[in-house]
A and B are shown apart, each in its own frame.
Chain A
Amino acid sequence: MTALARRAGPVLLLLLLWQLAATATGGQFLLAGPAEVAAWLSDNPGLVGRALSVTLASAAWGFLAGNLAAILLVAAAMLWPPVLGLLTGLALIVFCLPLIATGPILRVMMGPGDGPQVVLAALAVYYTTLIPLLAGLRAVPSAWIDLVACLGRGHLAQLVHVRARAALPYLVAGMQIAAPAAFLGAMVGEFTGAERGMGVLTVRFIRDLNTAALWSLASIAALVSIAVYLGVGAAGRFLRLERPPVILAPPRLPQGSAGRRLGRAVLLAGATLVLWWGGMEALGLNPFFAKRPPDLFAALFLAPDAGATWQALLQAAAQTAVFVLPGYLAGLALGTGLAVALSLVPALSGLVTPLAIALRSVPVVTTAPLVVLLLGQGALGTIALVALMVFFPTFVACQHGLQQAPGQILDILRSHGAGRVPQMRHVRLPAMLPAFFASARMGVPAAILAVTVVEWLATGRGLGNLMTLSASLSDYTMLWLTVVLVTLASVLCHGGVAWIERRVLRLYAPEQVEG
């Protein structure tokens, strides 16, 4: 009974705060409270049920396909390590492709139906599974690997018996991050012309000024995400019989001379160009909207209006950068800070975790007007929305990272009477660093994705606006140029985070870098 009360208390508090906020902003068509939401849902159960089943099906197929793709990619890379760099590079590039641009192209290629929704859901999840999984597969006690080698077994045995098992907690973390992302991906996919689903209804109700219906959809999306998050977590606890016993093996970070790094970059760029150009030719995509590399080269360097093209691109990029950098950093700080705070004061978890998932899974289209009203049309609102999108993966990854602290070392500290704070400083934080940096890398495309969506839907500035404007004016050359620019920027920032990671780990956790 008291346990039930402890769990129900925070939820009731959240509902009360929500109702108060709705009452305070009443008459502005911004926010509907739980009472209105419940009333609307009980009036329209069939409509919501059908929409939910459609979107849930797309999200589930996308979730399955995306996670399977991530697992297969990682397994391939583990069995044949030389392709690891190329595979993760290509995976990153595909993940960075802005969905505002890929959505309509998928629709033209796949025609009416669920295709684009499923693909966008899969694209939204595979990378957030891939990166923790890679971290996890490397986070293996090196003695176990030596044991496998001593027994004369190869990569496959190492993968099946040692690495896969060690990677399980990381896979669970990845899937927990992926669950709301899949749902959002499916909803955004519906914006490309789907007949039914939660995304279609969201667009309808925004125009109809139907606040109760809009927040009902958002509440359902949040509840589904919370349920899946908790379900995946429970499944993970069921599978994970013991905590990681000893200190982590060194993750193999990309090393090598400047020349070799340059070689890798050239190889990746070449493979991308081949896949891009070759893929378009193989699929016979119409050059009206499927621009090839030479089209972009001509627009940038040969066309008479190349100067104007450069100016439009750079101006939009500058407008976006101003928002995305502070938002990204704020999101990282918020996610890490919250994970650390919950680890120090676990009692807060019941209140904070559902709120965190809800904030992440309520679609930006629903929250954007509220945040913009609270924080203004200017920088603050956009930065807050970007931070909101970045903080959740960081929060989840850091929580898992904090739990990776070796139990024996914690026992030693406890036996010396060290409190929670010294435990945090000396053991948990260093143990969290690989997970933190993994989430910082994942956060780069997420932040750029977030800022372009906010620019598209709310502020009408920067690259997100340039993309939608170009698409509506059939200026597909400009659209593809922004795709290349956004992707390139994401990949470079990603590289920058990896560079910082090497230096930080060398200082604070040298055993994870050298060896």
Chain B
Amino acid sequence: MTFDRMNRRDFLGATAGLAASAGLRAQAAWAQVPVALQLSWLHSVQFAGSYIALDRGWWREAGLEVSLLQGGPNAPVEPPVVAGNALVGISAADYAAAAVAQGAPFRIIGVAMQKNPFVIASLADNPIASPADLPGKRIGMAVSNTPVLQALCSLNGVDIAAVQIVPTQYSAQPLVAGQVDGLLCWETDLPVAMAIQGIEAHTMLMADHGYALQSQTYVATVDSLATRRKELVALMAGEARGWDACRADTDAAAELTVRMFPDAGMDLPTQQLQARRQVPLMFSDLTDAHGFGWWTDETVEENIRILSLLGRTVTRDLWDRSILEDVHAG
């Protein structure tokens, strides 16, 4: 129907419909519970599942008014969850364990990254294909990640003293410029940037060499688990549905991400490639059988072992699967 053929009655009808739906929305908004999800980094497809859930109104239908709090290089992630400003935060198992050691009453309620995204990236003409290649190599990394490399070395019987650690900014530049032979980084960020610039990097996924630590884990406080279960279940249900949709069409997820944050300086090809590379880390036979975010007693045991290599002592109580069980039961 073209505009000039739309008669007055249609127009009035449409307006009345709009008014009615606005009224409904106002009523729904009155029933919305505001909750915040604290992200661990700048907006990107790293959190595409959340954007899809928000964009398609899945949380709104479940009565949640979700705000996504962006992270950043100097952004607090754990404190807003402890202080109650955010209902759920996205952390990694090692950071969550560290926070618990400092008194944060955290429980891990979901695991987005089933495989740890840490890799050693190297250039194709000087590849680091397995941990055995590490001795004698210069590895650029944040010094704070030394325990990660240490854990990888002890898991694979490599002497870390033979590896030369070079403190670098978190950028692929030192590798490209030949200042280092390898970079400790995520599969989904620096190697993607290099590929977009036309430099094909070789990546050795640490999860393929025993480093089974869960990453991008959802954490909530014990208190929230006791008193705000309904919101937690609704929030995690939206996440699960959003991530399933992202998996089904990573390009669409990347397009939505770029469209939702036009001021964030995101580049569509970069986001598309990142989405394609991160989905295999997030889904496994386990999630296919039980649903997004799942874990088992065996994966918990494995994580407790890796955490002890990182110098963290945790118990099984750190993990609470009851929210996910509710999410995937329905």
Contacts and interface: CB of A to CB of B under 8 A. Distances in A.
Interface string A144-163: 00000000000000000000
Interface string A474-493: 11110000000000000000
Nearest to A44: B265
A368 B170 CA distance: 12
Nearest to A208: B193
Contacts of B101: 474
Interface in A372-393: 373, 377
Contacts of B99: 473-474
Given A104-B74, A112-B69, A288-B82, A209 B171 contact: yes
A156 B184 CA distance: 62
B177 A373 contact: yes
Given A104-B75, A108-B80, A190-B72, A50 B263 contact: yes
A203 B42 CA distance: 9
Interface in A122-163: none
B266 A100 contact: no
A195 interface: yes
Nearest to B194: A209
A260 interface: no
Contacts of A459: 167
Nearest to B76: A104
Interface in B248-297: 261-267, 270
A30 B41 CA distance: 24
Interface string B107-144: 00000000000000000000000000000000000111
Contacts of B179: 373
Contacts of A377: 166-167
Nearest to B78: A474
B169 A368 contact: yes
B118 to A, nearest CB: 15
A473 B80 contact: no
Interface in A454-480: 457-461, 465, 468-469, 471-477
A213 B265 contact: yes
Contacts of A474: 78, 95, 98-99, 101-102, 104
A323 interface: no
Nearest to A476: B102
Contact of A369 (B95, B104, B173, B266): B173
A201 B267 CA distance: 12
Interface residues of B, number: 53
Contact of A288 (B67, B83, B265): B83
A contact face: mostly helix, strand, loop, or mixed: helix
B111 to A, nearest CB: 19
Contact of A209 (B193, B264, B266): B193
Contacts of A47: 262-263, 265
A377 to B, nearest CB: 7
Contacts of A203: 42, 72-73
A195 to B, nearest CB: 6
B70 A195 contact: yes
A315 to B, nearest CB: 13
A207 B69 CA distance: 20
B102 A288 contact: yes
Interface string B137-158: 0000011100000000000000
B5 to A, nearest CB: 37
Interface string A32-59: 0000000000000001001100100000
A288 B104 contact: yes
A383 to B, nearest CB: 16
B266 A204 contact: yes
Contact of A458 (B83, B167, B176): B167
A329 interface: no
A108 B75 CA distance: 9
Contacts of A28: 173, 176-177
Contacts of B177: 28-30, 373
Interface string A100-114: 100111011001100
A475 B167 contact: no
Nearest to B266: A204
Interface string B299-313: 000000000000000
Nearest to B186: A207
B172 interface: yes
Contacts of A289: 76, 78-79, 82-83
B210 interface: no
A286 B79 contact: yes
Given A27-B176, A108-B76, A288-B78, 12 more contacts: A29-B172, A30-B173, A54-B263, A107-B75, A193-B71, A195-B70, A209-B172, A209-B197, A288-B104, A369-B171, A460-B143, A469-B144
Interface of B: 42-43, 67, 69-76, 78-80, 82-83, 85, 95, 98-99, 101-104, 142-144, 166-174, 176-177, 179, 189-190, 193-194, 196-197, 261-267, 270
7 contacts: A28-B173, A47-B263, A207-B171, A286-B79, A289-B76, A457-B169, A474-B101
Closest 6 CB pairs of A and B: A460-B167, A460-B143, A193-B75, A474-B99, A104-B76, A196-B263
